[in-house]
Structure formats: structure tokens, C-alpha cells
Chain A
Amino acid sequence: MFDIDSYHKADTVDEAIALLSQNPDAVPIAGGTDVLVRLHGHNPDYRHLVDIHDIAELKNINMEPDGTIVIGSGITFTELAQSPLVSINIPVLAEGGSSIGGPQVRNVATIGGNISNGAPSADAAPPLLVLNAEVELKGPEGVRLLPLHDFYQGPGQVDRKSGEIMTCLRIGSADYKGWSGHYYKYAMRGAMDIATIGCAAACKIDGDRVTGIRLAFGVAGPTPLRCWRTEEKAQGHVVDQTLLDLVSGSVLGDLRPRDSWRASKDFREQIITTLSERVLKEALNRNGVSIP
């Protein structure tokens, strides 16, 4: 039996917000693949639950008239992979989501939970970062929208104020139209493993130059991180091997990998350097440019 002290099921977002506001110790439970594992380990921080598992308004994927793609926080990774809207417009996110756990986990784990738990290894995070995704939160004070990279504050820490629920993730059309992307998860096992390093790249090309380039890594710092300085240096660069060399020579300056039982810092740095080149190369390839 799980060590649950209080449990309330919400049928709507507003009800969840009210329940969370009434009890400052309460946390939302969506798919439960993190929360229930923590409760299995008798973690005292998850003993008061507001159940958002069955809230229908969190389970939509749609496109607004201006092309913005809106993904409800309660969408599971299986639903994400099956959505034509996602696979046609932002396949890099389906790629990230499909690398998570095994089928049974993906059938219940939600994208909102993956981001809200603040894990540096969240496989949805690097793809969402290169898509410039925004997080929408609703709380007692109303709705707010912030860039995903600002939502992440530290290891396991996100900018979720008390009483707030993540309602959806939003991706503007300018952030995916004309862009191509790729996500690669480097892990010790082929499946059911946490990333040693996760890497996402996205790019946009005009003629022989990159007009847009974005790189993001998981497990390469206290939170999933964008490589801002590298992106700035590479912007407008001619698409050839020197672009890849510039990127792979620069990314470590944007990141802070460390030692853990999974891998040493040195090994992580090696993987980061190699992946930055390989993943960007594949993203360029998907935009019709192949570098031999």
C-alpha cells in the first residue's frame, strides 16, 4: 500500500487548483510514474495528492488558427507518438517521447509530469527546448505563460507556484515551420534506461547558410539546457564541416556535466562533443543538406 495521507480527485483544472490551494503540502499526480515510484520508496514529500489523472481538459492536442501547437499536459507519450499533428509538424518531440521507458510506461506517463518533475534527464525536455516551447500554468492568480528554459530552475526544481497546474505546452508556428530536428538519447541500454546524455538539435537553412540553429542537452547540467553561446556563434554560418567543428568545439562551454554513478564527467563530455556534431548533422540532413 502506498503511504498516502490525503487524496482528492479533481474533475476539472479549477477544482485541482482549489484543492492544491487548500493544502500547501499537496502535489498533483498525473500518470503517477514518478509519484508512485517515490511513494513506493516512502518519500514523505508526496503523501498529499491531488489527482489530475482523469481531467479531460488536459488531454487535447490541437492547432490554433495562427499555427500554434498546443499540447495538453495530460497527454501520454503514446498519445503523443500517435498524433499526426505531432508527427507531421514537430517529429523531434515524438522522437524524444518514444525513447522513454517501455510501452507500459509510455501508455501512462504524461508530458506534463515529465517536465514538472524537473528531472535533468527528461527526454521530452531537449526537444521542447529546441522548439522554443512555452509552458502554460494556471493557478489561483490566473494564467501565466513562460519559456520552458525559464520554467527550469535547478535540479528537480521548476517555477511552479503554489496552487498552480501546468495546463499545456505551446509551440508557435515560427518555431517549427521550415525547421527540422533530431533527438538522440545516449544510454547504456537500448530501452528502459535513463539517458546518460540526451541531445536535440533543430535548424533552418536558406541557400548554403543556417538561418536558425538550436541545440539542447539533457543530463549535461543541473537542468536540461540550451546552448545559447554556441547557437549565437553558429548563426548564419555556411553549412559545411566547419560548422559542425565550430559547434562541437563550443558546446561544452554552454554546459555543466558532472560525475554520477551512471557516468563520469569526462565520459559525458566526450559524448556531448560527439553527439553535438552527429545530431546536428542529422537535423541538417532532414532539412535536405547532407554533409559528407
Chain B
Amino acid sequence: MNRNISCTVNSKSMTWQIDIRMSLADVLREHGYTSVKEGCGVGECGACAVLIDDVAVDSCLYLAVWADGRNIRTTEGESKEGKLSPIQQAYLDTGSVQCGFCTPGLIMASTSFVEQHKGQKVSREQIRKGHAGNLCRCTGYDGIVRAVEQCIDAEKQ
């Protein structure tokens, strides 16, 4: 049940032969994008979140064939020339990484949230709702909410 798909991953063009039974998470991990974590495999935890055409999706519940022709972003591609993205830096500044398993998925959820709310005033409640699809068992979320706030405030300046 093999098929070829072409997509871009972190701005690089890829053509991969995939088995149609695979999730996008399986395929990305197989090709070395191991920032994509599989926690639950059923859409509950967000550890596998990636951006597809800038929209956050859980790659464990996304058939790899659907990625054909699309533009995928994973956490690997967010830092440019050794420099962390503003979100990544904010997570670091607020101490939002403990065991780190949830972090890549959360970074993508936050990245999409900040891109969508550019220049807007957002409440903590909106930030929490916007991250409801990502579980973190370590940090208690407070730092994460502050990291997002910090990025949105910086965007406004």
C-alpha cells in the first residue's frame, strides 16, 4: 500500500514513499524529525502537534497521505541559524521546559497561537483555551502562559 507524497518540511522539499497506513507522526519520526513525540496517539495530548500550512494539527491523527502538496513545520525548523525562535526563547526565559516531552508540540501550538493573534490583546483565558489540546505533566502551565504573553507583548512593540 505504498504511495509517493511530496511536501515541504521546514522549507525543504521532500518526496517520500510512504505506506498509506501510516500517520504523519510515524512518517516524520521515521525521517528523523524526532521532535514530533507520540504521547497518546489519539489526539488528547498534543505532543505530536505540527503545523500544516500554518494550521496546528495532531500528526498522530493525520494520515501521512494528507500531507501531499502541503507545507509542514516542526520544531526542528523553528530555530534559524542557531538562534531560537521568539517562542522557544520565551519558553526558556520563563522556565517552561522540565522533562521536555510536551515541549515540541507546545512550541508549535504556541507558534500558531501567536501568529494568529498578532497585534491583538489576548487574555490569559484565551491563551489557556488556545493551548487546551496540549498536556504538560510537569510545569503546571503557568510559565507557558507567561511565555506566550511575553511573545505577544513583544510582537506589539
**Is A101 in the interface zone, CB < 8 Å from B?**
yes
> In whole angstroms, what is the CA distance A78 to B132 when docked?
14
**Is B36 in the interface zone, CB < 8 Å from A?**
no
Residues of A within 8 A of B115 (CB): none
Q: A103-B109, A192-B44 are in contact. Are A108 and B57 (CB under 8 A)?
A: yes
Chain A 181-196 near chain B by CB (<8 Å), digits 1 or 0: 0000000001110000
Q: How far is the CB of A233 from chain B (nearest CB, A)?
A: 37
Main secondary structure of the interface of B (DSSP, over half): mixed
Residues of B within 8 A of A36 (CB): 23, 61-63
Contact B43 A191 (CB under 8 A): no
Contact of B43 among A2, A3, A51, A101 (CB under 8 A): A101
Contact A102 B132 (CB under 8 A): yes
> In whole angstroms, what is the CA distance A33 to B109 when docked?
18
Interface residues of A in 159-204 (CB under 8 A from B): 190-192
**Is B19 in the interface zone, CB < 8 Å from A?**
yes
> In whole angstroms, what is the CA distance A96 to B129 when docked?
15
Residues of B within 8 A of A101 (CB): 43, 132-133
Q: A2-B23, A7-B20 are in contact. Are A40 and B42 (CB under 8 A)?
A: yes
Chain B residue at minimum C-beta to C-beta distance from A98: B129
> In whole angstroms, what is the CA distance A104 to B44 when docked?
10
Residues of A within 8 A of B21 (CB): 1-4, 7
Residues of B within 8 A of A54 (CB): 66
**Is A250 in the interface zone, CB < 8 Å from B?**
no
Contact B20 A104 (CB under 8 A): no
> In whole angstroms, what is the CA distance A196 to B19 when docked?
38
**Is A59 in the interface zone, CB < 8 Å from B?**
no
**Is A209 in the interface zone, CB < 8 Å from B?**
no
Q: How far is the CB of B75 from chain A (nearest CB, A)?
A: 15
- Which of B42, B43, B109 has the most CB atoms of chain A within a 10 A radius of its CB? B43
Interface size class of B (residues with CB under 8 A): 20 to 34
Contact B43 A9 (CB under 8 A): no
Q: How far is the CB of B5 from chain A (nearest CB, A)?
A: 12
Contact B132 A103 (CB under 8 A): yes
- Which of B1, B57, B61, B65 has the most CB atoms of chain A within a 10 A radius of its CB? B61
Number of cross-chain contacts by CB at 8 Å:
78
**Is B104 in the interface zone, CB < 8 Å from A?**
no
**Size of interface on A: residues with Cβ below 8 Å to B:** 26
Chain A residue at minimum C-beta to C-beta distance from B108: A104
Q: A32-B62, A37-B43 are in contact. Are A192 and B19 (CB under 8 A)?
A: no
Residues of A within 8 A of B41 (CB): 40
Contact of A32 among B56, B61, B113 (CB under 8 A): B61
Residues of A within 8 A of B134 (CB): 102
Interface residues of A in 10-43 (CB under 8 A from B): 29, 32-33, 36-37, 40
Q: How far is the CB of A80 from chain B (nearest CB, A)?
A: 14
Chain A 56-67 near chain B by CB (<8 Å), digits 1 or 0: 000000000000
Q: How far is the CB of B143 from chain A (nearest CB, A)?
A: 19
Contact A192 B133 (CB under 8 A): yes
Residues of B within 8 A of A278 (CB): none
> In whole angstroms, what is the CA distance A26 to B72 when docked?
30
Chain B residue at minimum C-beta to C-beta distance from A103: B133
Contact of A104 among B19, B23, B57, B129 (CB under 8 A): B57
**Is B100 in the interface zone, CB < 8 Å from A?**
no
Chain A residue at minimum C-beta to C-beta distance from B50: A104
Q: Taking A1-B26, A36-B62 as given, write out 9 further A-B residue pairs in contact, using a Cβ cutoff of 8 Å, ordered by the A residue number.
A: A2-B22, A4-B21, A37-B43, A53-B63, A102-B134, A105-B58, A107-B56, A108-B57, A190-B132
A selection of 6 A-B contacts at a CB cut-off of 8 Å is A1-B19, A3-B21, A37-B43, A103-B132, A104-B109, A108-B57
